[in-house]
Amino acid sequence: MASSKQDIEVVVAIDFGTVSSGYAYANKSNPGEITVENRWDGFKGYKTPTIIKYDESYSSIISWGFSALPEKPRKKGNDNQSKPIELFKLFLFKEKSFLPDNLDYKRVISDYLRKLGEMIKGKVNNIWSSLNFYSQVLIVLTVPVEFDDDAIAIMRDCAFNANLIKERDSRYLLFITEPAAAAIHCLNSSEKNKLKPGDSFIVVDCGGGAVNLTSHKLLEDNKISELTESTSGNCGSSLIDKKFVEFLGRKLGSSTIESLEKNHYNILQYIVQEFCKDVKFPFTGQKSEFQRYEIVLKNYPSIIEEARKQGFLKESDSVWVEFSDVRGMFDPLINKIIDLIKGQLAQQANKKSSVIMLVGGFSESKYLQERIIKEFNKTVSDISVPLQPMIAAVKGGVQYGLRTDMRVHTVLRRTYGTDAIRKSLPGDPPSQILPNGYTIIFDPLAERGKPILVNEKVVRVFKPHSMMQRSISFDLYVTKALNAKFCNDPGVSLLRPWEIELPENDNYEDVTILFTLTFGAVEILATAENQKTGEKYQVKVKYD
């Protein structure tokens, strides 16, 4: 598909993360040379924080990325300025994060992507000056496996509002799940030498917000086939930050933390930032390598005063973080990740996998690596972490854009169907029986747990059932149930309402509608075509 478009010259992949984001790019003429951005307005790193800061009225952007991180608060100064906005991607998971009343999360995402997009455009146009960004650049957005249809639609809208694409349904924007992109990268790196065609492998993408897992089989010609339903869990590295704030609440009092969040958010954010740099990132899980960490509060009299009101900090102006405290922040999350891996192994026919690949920023944790190796080294042949696991997904996104045929099969997590009618039978639910003696049923088009070819088409032919009929419904329904019969069965939900109008004055017996579902890497394209007039209607939805 995208890789065969003759007009595309450059592929840009964007990894829009919960905690940090980045991008990479390559020219089709030199696909082996993928550049990952590592300079951000004076800062170095393969990713920049997913943070944006507005003025006090939230009407204009002051800074974003590294520049929006809080600086060390001055002893005497105004730290009660506008709060940097962070973790706003969580709204796409239906989770809440801090957001002022006059800010909409979709606007924040669009604003952040616009700033990132301005940087991307400047970079690619500086290298290829004659490039038309909107007609010669393919954008690939990596997304979590648990993004639902609404989240994908919102991301497409935000990309449009951010001027990354010219049309909402632009063919120059593709989506791929983060673990699938990471799998593609691993197979194009040294990791592929550990696998041979027929081998299975699990990709564990440990990010900031979520941990996503997929199981694959390596096929001939370096293609991959998904083996099982992908799974995910809310156990990413940002949860350690949350647990650290909860720890501070136990040491300083919950009212102190509430006051910081409301009145001195930059101070709290700076304390968390320093903890991550000094403790969270280097933590190995080895007590002999750990030094007690002191949080010195003498420069923050408002914290000391509020804490002492609640009976804390009676003998010291510092809070000490012990080894057991930090391990207690890591262990619940790592235990969840281990359970997720066990769940993936249980889905496989022989309960085994040749390789576990750890990717994503959290997978750089030595303690996480050590725990997973200890748990699975007897049942899995090899547990590997590619070089620079933080950028595996974004590089894989570029590789997917350059060659979209690498993914052969995906495994559906739900059954997809539409509403259809048949002659009523005894026992049909009364609510689904029509006055004309027909019953509305759930017509499954593609079933949960079944592997389906990427870009495979499922086709149905529909005809009007009455000369009075002026439209045909193609409402799309989904369910995790394996034997749903009616659209109002328990667990069946409406994914997208949709109907098309029928031409007036036509002989209804001559009207045939060809209904097609095309299963892409992430999105499903539904097409209804009037075979008589040639009119086409299309709508895109996401797998989950």
pLDDT tens digits, 89-105:
988 888 777 788 888 99
Q: Three-state SS for 89?
A: helix
Q: What is the pLDDT of residue 468?
A: 60
**Would you list the DSSP string of 205-220?**
EE-SS-EEEEEEEE-G
Q: Three-state SS for 360?
A: coil
* Position 498, amino acid: W
Dihedral in degrees, nearest 10, Cα atoms 393, 398, 403, 409:
20
CA 335 to chain centre: 21
Q: For the chain, how far is it from start to end, CA to CA, in angstroms?
A: 22
What secondary structure letter does DSSP report for 170?
A: -
Query: Which residue has tokens 């991550």?
Result: 276
Q: What is the pLDDT of residue 394?
A: 96
What secondary structure letter does DSSP report for 433?
A: B
Q: What is the pLDDT of residue 517?
A: 82
Q: What is the pLDDT of residue 413?
A: 81
Nearest 5°: CA angle at 541, between 536 and 544? 155
Listed in sequence order, the residues at least 6 apart from 255 whose beta carbon sits closer than 8 Å to its beta carbon are 306, 309, 310
* Position 354, amino acid: S
Cα distances from 401 to residues 1, 40, 282, in angstroms, run 9, 24, 34
CA 19 to chain centre: 12
Half-sphere exposure of 124 (CA within 13 A, CB side): 26
* Position 540, amino acid: K
Q: Is the dihedral of CA 71, 73, 74, 76 positive or negative?
A: positive
Q: What is the pLDDT of residue 255?
A: 93
Cα 239 from Cα 64, distance rounded (Å): 22
Dihedral in degrees, nearest 10, Cα atoms 489, 493, 497, 500:
-40
| Segments in 212-362 forming alpha helices (H) | 238-252, 254-263, 265-275, 301-309, 323-347
Q: What is the mean pLDDT of each run of 10 residues along the chain (544 residues)?
A: 64 95 95 93 91 91 91 60 84 81 92 97 94 94 85 93 92 89 82 74 90 87 81 92 96 92 87 95 96 92 90 90 97 97 86 86 95 92 88 94 75 87 92 92 88 79 68 84 92 84 64 81 79 75 59
Cα 2 from Cα 432, distance rounded (Å): 42
Q: What is the pLDDT of residue 507?
A: 61
Q: What is the pLDDT of residue 219?
A: 84
CA-derived radius of gyration, the chain: 26
Cα 505 from Cα 203, distance rounded (Å): 56
Burial of 382 (0-12, 13-18, 19+ CB in 10 A): middle
Q: What is the pLDDT of residue 295?
A: 95
* Position 399, amino acid: Q
Pairing of strands 353-359, 200-206: parallel
Q: Three-state SS for 126?
A: helix
Q: What is the largest CA-CA distance in the chain?
A: 90
3-state SS, 445-488, equals EECCCCEEECCEEEEEEECCCCCCCCEEECCEEEECCCCCCCCC
124 and 10 Cβ atoms separated by less than 8 Å? yes
